[in-house]
Amino acid sequence: MLRAGYLLRRIAAALVVIAGVLTLTFVITRVLPSDPARLVAGQRASPEQVALIRQELGLDRPLSVQFVHYLDNLAHGDLGTSLATGRSVRTDLGIFLPATLELVLCGMALALLIGIPAGVLAAARERGVFDRATGLAAILGAAAPVFALALLAQQIFFNQLHWLPLNGRLDSDVSFAHPVTAITGFLLLDTALTGNWTAWRDALAHILLPALVVAIYPLSIVLRMTRNTTAEALRQPHITVAHAKGLHGRTVVLRHALRSAMLPVLTIAGLTFAYAITGTILVELIFRWPGIGKYVADAIVAKDFPPILAVTLVSTVIFVAVTLGVDLLRVALDPRTRDDGVTR
């Protein structure tokens, strides 16, 4: 059982990380050699017009005053307004964040559905051909640059085989003929809830390639972790006893070895999910996926600071929340990993 003191310390540490990232990002966006007022006013604006807009935006105030003002707005749920488009950043995130989450969740589902069975099979046939082949594939998958994998996937599945679409979330013809009713922002879920199966099939075809690319790294990690932890569990004395009792090899692996190996696998899966949330920028750019990765990349090019700050904050909160949840789950399920925050 977790002690309240341990829980509070972990939450406090998470809040410190979020505050530190937010402060650092805010300072960096303010000291960069760029002029947000000029972006709003336009290149043809006079110096007087730029100075007036700078005053309206509060950019002529001391940095500390600007930061306090930003925190006050943040406390009221105001993430600011895009300097480039004039749209509310909060509204934009409501559109782009579900697209990223849907992509990452599909990628993680592929990683777990493939990585866990493959890892178990490799452990059951330790040092065999399959074990060596998956080990090599996992090393290559973890080391391969994501942009190279994305371009290779497009070349094979779009240019050569013509199986899957090149980019986007939905064909324009399909979205026009079968408009999607937005409920959650997750296209696969919204189209299923409304019975729009034509759009659902098109959305599924569009998400397969980018989800596969997103899945490669976590798949490699999950596969090797499953293989190593399952192989170690198979060497334990109680597994030997189970074999001696005449239990079938598959039963021993699935009911005994895999059960004890699942905790570290779930832990690493949670961590790679948190990493994938913040690491999809290149995938979204290559596949023109309208998520927060592409959104923040466009904002960086335009030197549009409010979206950069908002995406950094949201990504940090998701990352910290997932890692905190994984850590608490690990400690709660396995007392051997406890520290002074867990009772005996």
- 3-state helix vs strand vs coil in the chain, percent to 5: 75, 0, 25
75, 102, 134 - which closes a domain: 75
Q: Are 151 and 286 in contact (CB under 8 A)?
A: yes
Q: How far apart are CA 73 and CA 114, in angstroms?
A: 44
Q: What is the CATH number of the domain that holds 190?
A: 1.10.3720.10
Q: How far apart are CA 102 and CA 187, in angstroms?
A: 8
The verdict on 217 and 283 lying in the same domain is yes
Find how far residue 91's CA is from the centre of its chain. Answer: 20
21, 41, 75 - which closes a domain: 75
Q: Are 308 and 320 in contact (CB under 8 A)?
A: no
The answer to whether the pTM exceeds 0.85 is no
| CA trace torsion 111, 220, 14, 77 (10° rounding) | -40
The verdict on 114 and 254 lying in the same domain is yes
Which tens digits make up the pLDDT trace of 70-122? Answer: 888 888 888 888 887 888 999 999 989 999 999 999 999 999 999 988 988 88
The verdict on 136 and 163 lying in the same domain is yes
Torsion angles phi and psi, residue 81, rounded to 5: -125, 135
Query: What count of other Cβ atoms lies within 10 Å of the Cβ of residue 218?
Result: 25
Which tens digits make up the pLDDT trace of 32-76? Answer: 767 677 666 666 777 777 788 777 777 778 888 888 888 888 888
Domain presence at residue 87: no
What's the pLDDT at 335? 56
Find the mean pLDDT for residues 268-285.
82
Domain count, the chain: 2
Residues whose CB is less than 8 angstroms from the CB of residue 103 and which lie 6 or more positions away in sequence, other chains included? 207, 210, 211, 214, 280, 283, 284, 289, 291
Which tens digits make up the pLDDT trace of 9-36? Answer: 888 888 898 889 888 888 887 777 676 7
User: What one-letter code names the amino acid at 174?
Assistant: V
The verdict on 57 and 203 lying in the same domain is no
Domain presence at residue 154: yes
The verdict on 228 and 324 lying in the same domain is yes
The verdict on 142 and 24 lying in the same domain is no
What's the pLDDT at 208? 94
What's the pLDDT at 189? 94
The verdict on 158 and 283 lying in the same domain is yes
The DSSP bridge partners found for residue 81 are 88
Domain presence at residue 158: yes
Domain presence at residue 80: no
Find the mean pLDDT for residues 182-210.
93
The verdict on 99 and 21 lying in the same domain is no
Q: How far apart are CA 230 and CA 187, in angstroms?
A: 36
Domain presence at residue 89: no
| Domain carrying residue 65 | 7-75
Q: How far apart are CA 280 and CA 270, in angstroms?
A: 16
Domain presence at residue 265: yes
The verdict on 70 and 105 lying in the same domain is no
The verdict on 131 and 255 lying in the same domain is yes
What's the pLDDT at 342? 45
The verdict on 150 and 190 lying in the same domain is yes
Domain presence at residue 57: yes
The verdict on 159 and 255 lying in the same domain is yes
Query: What count of other Cβ atoms lies within 10 Å of the Cβ of residue 245?
Result: 8
Comparing 43-52, 154-163, 187-196, 330-339, the range with the smallest average pLDDT is 330-339
Residue 289 has pLDDT above 70, yes or no: yes
Domain presence at residue 167: yes
